[in-house]
A and B are shown apart, each in its own frame.
Chain A
């Protein structure tokens, strides 16, 4: 008699299932690889490159053609120029077909050029950065000069040139990192980031917990209030950021008018323009905008807590605060820690809020704002990428924590 044993190894059916699974995941994997992983690798590459915003348009040779003078002094002028001030462009040449009305005498040709039939070819070879030269070719015109000018300038010369592209060559530098770690600036940016992240996260959690406690009971209008309390999170960031700016405007903001009228302050306060108030304000904005998210998650968890426990506690004579402290809070600890980690990472990553509110001025420049600041305000893309690399390394550290704690909490 043979006993049947479960099959060893992967069976054809399992293989087919795995193939199907990978097939179904393929679109996601490919798109994520292209839009997330590739840029991340590119960031590392760029961070070691001496590259500015201007280098994005690769250097090339520019040729302008015009017909100048009149009568005997009539000439075609080619102005040849290197578009970059400091990059050498190689193999520069251009060809141009002369219109029928124009006659060019071969002996007048400059050394760089040659003429076959009506095709003019000029070769320059290597031109240095800042190269700018005019070629003048005396010509005679049969017919109207105006028409000839139009004909000459109507046909653009075909230019070939190859330049070293800073993005793809093998020139590296560590200057970007030296630059961003240089001096006190980096540490002030780091300090601002930590303040913003820690207080923004803890604040949003605490306020969210308070809001969840408020709405964790059934009454008429609970749904409406819940919807209302989610507004800050749902509205477009640009709309609410500008509303805050207008509300707290130092000259015509309602908040200042209210404070002055109530006698709290004598002078209007420049909420988003003074240190350290600006940093506190952007943190408050962050709390305001993201408390709904934590409130939603905490409320959902609260409503899934078994009510038996509270009944038992009531029988034992526990007071409301005791019930909160000894029953609710321990039950909520899981979701609170998950939310803390998630919000911590997301707040750390936050860019738009500060960018719109203060533009990173008045001591509110966080790491993410610094990326933009370096890359676009200072026009040093390399340095921006270097800051991005620093951010990425921080996130890698966070995500290790995330995996250690969150996956356990969530039972993934």
Chain B
């Protein structure tokens, strides 16, 4: 690796790699935005990246690099050469791609290699610039892999089947249509009973949360605080239940429900969902309860409260953040649950959202409906989650991270 540690090697190398990354990113972004043909080219990336890497060695100023980049790429793209090939793209597209390339190359490259001298590098400088490159790549990579599927989901739901087949890349929206853009959504609510599904899902999820808490709070307290034979075994084996695959349980449950007539009832679903969430809720809560100070509870006991009063008046108010995160997590599990709903519900009036979306997956129903259904199921849980992200992060990691 020693031969890499020279400014005149590291700079061009990072330059080539980054220009190529930037070219792919810009091509994908511009293709999705306009539907036109933007192509990244590795050969041109080498030809552009190496000199850029060399030129920016020892020049950490971001703004001049960006300005130079924009000028360079706009000029070359208008000539029809450069890391992003734009055959048959309208002028505006070329300009946009050039400006984006300039920013996406100039700014990061200046910070990647700006601190490097031309000659031999010490380990710190070299690794720092490699890490900066990897970080930049990481941000683009993760944002792309996370955002693209959701972007496609939302945009597909706003288009029509013909538009989708004509150019699968064109996600630009025809804003003249106004409210007509949301036709799929209107049809789902008007003709496909999605209002009922939404209500069913909400009802089932909220009740699941309530039942789970009612069962797991006392259980978690007992495991965390009370002394009894088998406490250690219990606190260990509670997670074991979480490891039994649902499909293994689903088969006997399907048989039992078929025989007893509980299939196709919301009651039947409510008998099963909480049990799948109780173990993990209990595990998360007991971790939190253990962290609460004993002394407050003991003071309560000394003052004449009994255990149940202590739990109600002291422990629960202290554990509210944990309860919030457990509720959120359980709500998420119940809202997203698919397999059991799919197997146990056949009657459209009892469908949950996930089951309803599964019923849209047929060749007769256009795909924008399917995606609109997916958006309807995703948006509430995302909104809830983004609003309470802090709780979620804490709650998920609370039980298992020490230190």
Q: Could you list which residues of chain A lie within 8 angstroms of chain B, going by C-beta atoms?
A: 14, 17-18, 20-22, 24-25, 27-28, 31-32, 34-36, 38-40, 42-43, 46, 56-57, 167, 210-211, 213-214, 223, 225-232, 234-240, 242-244, 246-247, 249, 251-254, 256-258, 261-263, 288, 293, 296-297, 300-301, 304-305, 319-321, 335, 338, 345-346, 348-349, 351-352, 355-356, 368, 371-372, 375, 381, 384-385, 388, 391-392, 395, 398-399, 402-403, 407, 410-412
Contacts and interface: CB of A to CB of B under 8 A. Distances in A.
The A contact surface, by secondary structure, is helix
A345 B228 CA distance: 30
B228 A304 contact: no
A253 B150 CA distance: 14
A240 B377 CA distance: 10
A329 B113 CA distance: 27
A18 B169 contact: no
A202 B279 CA distance: 26
Given A236-B377, A262-B39, A35 B275 contact: yes
B187 interface: no
Contact of A31 (B243, B274, B357, B397): B274
Contact of B247 (A14, A257, A388): A388
Q: Counting chain A CB atoms within 10 Å of each CB, which of B221, B374, B392 scores highest?
A: B374
Given A238-B358, A412-B236, A304 B401 contact: yes
The 10 closest A-B pairs by CB, nearest first: A349-B245, A239-B374, A18-B228, A24-B218, A39-B252, A21-B226, A35-B275, A42-B252, A300-B397, A21-B222
Interface string B252-267: 1101101100000000
A352 B337 CA distance: 10
A320 B128 contact: yes
Given A20-B226, A263-B39, A300-B397, A252 B168 contact: yes
Given A227-B385, A243-B149, 15 more contacts: A20-B222, A21-B226, A35-B276, A43-B251, A46-B255, A232-B149, A236-B336, A237-B338, A239-B374, A242-B374, A243-B150, A252-B165, A258-B28, A258-B169, A263-B39
B305 interface: no
Contacts of B279: 32
B214 to A, nearest CB: 8
A231 B151 CA distance: 12
A28 B335 contact: no
Contacts of B168: 249, 252-254, 256-257
Interface stretch (B49-57, B72-80, B104-112, B140-148): B140-148
Given A254-B168, A319-B127, A40 B248 contact: yes
Interface residues of B, number: 106
A239 B226 contact: no
Nearest to B332: A234
B14 to A, nearest CB: 15
A258 B33 CA distance: 13
The B contact surface, by secondary structure, is helix
Contacts of B229: 18
Interface in B375-403: 375, 377-378, 381-382, 385-386, 389, 392-393, 396-397, 400-403
Contacts of A412: 232, 235-236
Contacts of A372: 247
A345 B246 CA distance: 12
A218 to B, nearest CB: 14
A371 B401 contact: no
Contacts of A18: 226-229
B271 interface: yes
Contacts of B227: 14, 17-18, 21
A239 B219 CA distance: 34
B215 interface: yes
B400 A338 contact: yes
Contacts of A398: 243
Given A238-B357, A263-B39, A300 B393 contact: yes
Interface in B355-370: 357-358, 361, 367, 370
B26 interface: no
A345 B215 contact: no
Given A242-B371, A243-B149, A258-B31, A230 B385 contact: yes
A56 B258 contact: yes
B92 interface: no
A398 B240 CA distance: 10
B221 to A, nearest CB: 6
A300 B397 CA distance: 7
B219 A27 contact: yes
Nearest to B234: A25
A32 B275 contact: yes
A288 B234 contact: no
Contacts of B247: 349, 351, 368, 371-372, 388
A381 B251 contact: yes
B282 A238 contact: no
A226 B393 contact: yes
Q: Counting chain A CB atoms within 10 Å of each CB, which of B127, B236, B252, B353 scores highest?
A: B252
A283 to B, nearest CB: 14
Nearest to A348: B245
A407 B336 CA distance: 30
Contacts of A17: 226-228
